C-alpha cells in the first residue's frame, strides 16, 4: 500500500474477474463468453473503420448507434445511453441514481457481485434482500409498503450467477410499487430466453434496463453496453458520463456495435444455438449427478449431489477447463458453467466423468 494513495483507496475491495489463464488447449467456461464469433458484418464494419478517420474524435453523442438501438426497441434515441461495457453503465447508474439522501439501495443477496463493489466505491448505503431457498426472487419482498422508500432497486434478470428469470408482471409490480425510486434491471443475459423489461418503459419512467453486447452479440472484447430508459433518467446518466469521459466508445467500437445490432439474422442463429446447447448440457449434467437450476442464460448453475464444488473446479482446471466457483455464502457448493458449442459441452462432460470418478 502506498502512502501516496487517496484516503479511500486502501479500503476498496475491487471486483475479481474470472481467471484468464494461459493454459494450452484451454476451454474457458468461466466468464460467460459466447462460443460463436461476432457477426461477420460487425467485423467488416470495424475493418472499414480502421483508417485515416481515427485521427478524429468519435461522435460524442454516438447518434448512429443510439438510433440503431432505439429503432430495434421502438424508442427514441434520447432514451438510449451507451457505455464502455455495461459495467461502466452500472458504475454511472450507481453514481447518478442511487445516492439519494441516505436512502438505501435494495438488491438481492446473491447476484452480480460488481453491484456491491460499486456500493463500496460510491458509498451507497444498501440493504441486501435474501433470495428464497431455491434462489428465486420473492417479489413481495420488493413491493411491501415501507417507512422509507429505497434510493433505488437493482437486480439482474435473468439473475447471475443463478440463471433464474422473473416475468414482466413481477418487474412491473416492483416498478409500480416504488415510483420515486429508479428500478434498474440488468439484462446482460436476457436474449437467452427471458423477456426484456424494455417493453415496460412506456409505462414506468422510473425503470432502466441495462444490456451488453458481450454475451448474446459475442463482443465481450469490444466493450459496449447500453441502457434503455426514460429520457429523464438518460439525461442524468449523460451528466455523469460527460463529467467523467465524453468518449467512452471509440470509432471502431461504434461501427462494430451498430453493425452487430443491425444483423438480426446472425443474432437469432447464434443465440438459438446457445439455447439448444444449454438444454442438452443441463440434461447431461443431471445424468452426472448434478442438480441444475433452471436457466434462461448462457450458463448453468449446478451443484453436485456428492462432491465438493471447489474440488471439481480444481479437477477440471488440471484438465484445461475453467468454470466459475464462487467462495461466497449460500453458493459455495455451486459451479457456474458457461454453455459452449456442442463439441465443447461434450469435452466438458467427458472430463467431468473422469474428475468425478477420480
Residues making contact with ligand PLP (CB under 6 A): 32, 85-87, 112, 156, 160, 186, 188, 212, 214, 220, 225
Instruction: State which residue, 189 or 315, has the beta carbon closest to ligand PLP.
Output: 189
Q: How far apart are the first and last CA of the chain?
A: 43
Nearest approach, Cβ of residue 145 and ligand PLP (Å): 29
Nearest approach, Cβ of residue 51 and ligand PLP (Å): 27
Instruction: State which residue, 87 or 262, has the beta carbon closest to ligand PLP.
Output: 87
Give whole-number Cα distances, 166 to 5, 87, 329, in Å. Answer: 42, 22, 23
Bridge partners of residue 83, in order along the sequence: 225
Nearest approach, Cβ of residue 160 and ligand PLP (Å): 4
Nearest C-alpha neighbor of 257 from the set 42, 34, 33, 74: 42
Say which DSSP state 119 is in: H
Instruction: State which residue, 188 or 200, has the beta carbon closest to ligand PLP.
Output: 188
Nearest approach, Cβ of residue 196 and ligand PLP (Å): 14
Instruction: State which residue, 85 or 150, has the beta carbon closest to ligand PLP.
Output: 85
Cβ atoms 337, 299 nearer than 8 A? yes
Phi, psi of 257, rounded to the nearest 5 degrees: -65, -40
Nearest C-alpha neighbor of 208 from the set 196, 191, 220: 196
All three cell numbers of 160, joined, read: 447471475
Instruction: State which residue, 98 or 103, has the beta carbon closest to ligand PLP.
Output: 98
Nearest approach, Cβ of residue 217 and ligand PLP (Å): 10
Nearest approach, Cβ of residue 53 and ligand PLP (Å): 25
Cβ atoms 110, 135 nearer than 8 A? yes
Neighbours of 248 (CB within 10 A): 21
Instruction: State which residue, 160 or 197, has the beta carbon closest to ligand PLP.
Output: 160
Cβ atoms 238, 66 nearer than 8 A? no
Nearest approach, Cβ of residue 186 and ligand PLP (Å): 5
Nearest C-alpha neighbor of 62 from the set 174, 206, 224: 224
Neighbours of 201 (CB within 10 A): 21
Instruction: State which residue, 112 or 267, has the beta carbon closest to ligand PLP.
Output: 112
Amino acid at each position: 500500500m502506498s502512502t501516496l494513495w487517496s484516503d479511500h483507496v486502501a479500503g476498496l475491495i475491487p471486483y475479481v474477474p474470472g481467471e484468464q489463464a494461459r493454459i494450452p488447449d484451454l476451454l474457458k467456461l468461466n466468464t460467460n463468453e459466447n462460443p460463436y464469433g461476432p457477426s461477420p458484418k460487425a467485423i467488416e464494419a470495424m475493418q472499414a473503420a480502421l483508417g485515416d478517420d481515427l485521427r478524429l474524435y468519435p461522435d460524442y453523442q454516438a447518434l448512429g448507434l443510439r438510433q440503431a438501438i432505439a429503432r430495434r426497441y421502438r424508442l427514441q434515441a434520447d432514451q438510449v445511453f451507451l457505455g464502455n461495457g455495461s459495467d461502466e453503465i452500472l458504475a454511472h447508474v450507481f453514481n447518478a441514481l442511487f445516492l439519494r439522501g441516505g436512502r438505501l439501495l435494495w438488491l438481492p443477496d446473491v447476484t452480480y457481485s460488481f453491484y456491491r463493489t460499486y456500493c463500496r466505491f460510491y458509498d451507497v448505503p444498501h440493504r441486501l434482500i435474501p433470495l428464497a431457498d431455491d434462489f428465486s426472487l420473492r417479489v413481495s419482498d420488493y413491493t411491501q409498503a415501507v417507512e422509507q422508500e429505497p434510493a433505488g432497486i437493482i437486480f439482474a434478470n435473468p439473475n447471475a450467477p443463478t440463471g433464474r428469470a422473473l416475468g414482466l408482471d413481477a418487474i412491473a409490480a416492483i416498478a409500480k410499487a416504488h415510483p420515486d425510486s429508479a428500478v434498474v434491471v440488468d439484462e446482460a443475459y436476457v436474449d437467452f430466453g427471458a423477456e426484456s423489461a424494455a417493453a415496460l418503459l412506456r409505462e414506468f419512467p422510473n425503470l432502466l434496463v441495462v444490456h451488453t453486447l458481450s454475451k448474446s452479440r459475442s463482443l465481450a472484447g469490444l466493450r459496449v453496453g447500453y441502457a434503455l430508459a426514460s429520457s429523464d433518467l438518460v439525461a442524468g446518466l449523460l451528466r455523469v458520463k460527460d463529467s467523467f469521459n465524453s468518449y467512452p466508445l471509440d470509432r471502431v467500437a461504434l461501427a462494430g456495435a451498430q453493425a452487430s445490432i443491425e444483423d438480426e439474422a446472425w443474432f437469432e442463429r447464434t443465440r438459438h444455438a446457445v439455447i439448444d446447447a444449454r438444454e442438452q448440457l443441463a440434461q447431461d449434467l443431471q445424468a452426472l449427478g448434478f442438480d441444475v437450476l433452471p436457466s434462461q442464460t448462457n450458463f448453468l448453475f449446478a451443484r453436485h449431489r456428492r462432491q465438493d464444488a471447489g474440488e471439481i473446479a480444481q479437477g477440471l482446471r488440471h484438465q484445461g477447463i475453467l468454470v466459475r466457483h464462487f467462495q461466497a455464502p449460500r453458493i459455495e457448493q455451486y459451479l457456474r458453467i458457461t454453455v459452449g458449442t456442442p463439441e465443447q459441452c461434450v469435452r466438458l462432460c467427458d472430463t467431468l466423468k473422469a474428475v468425478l470418478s477420480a
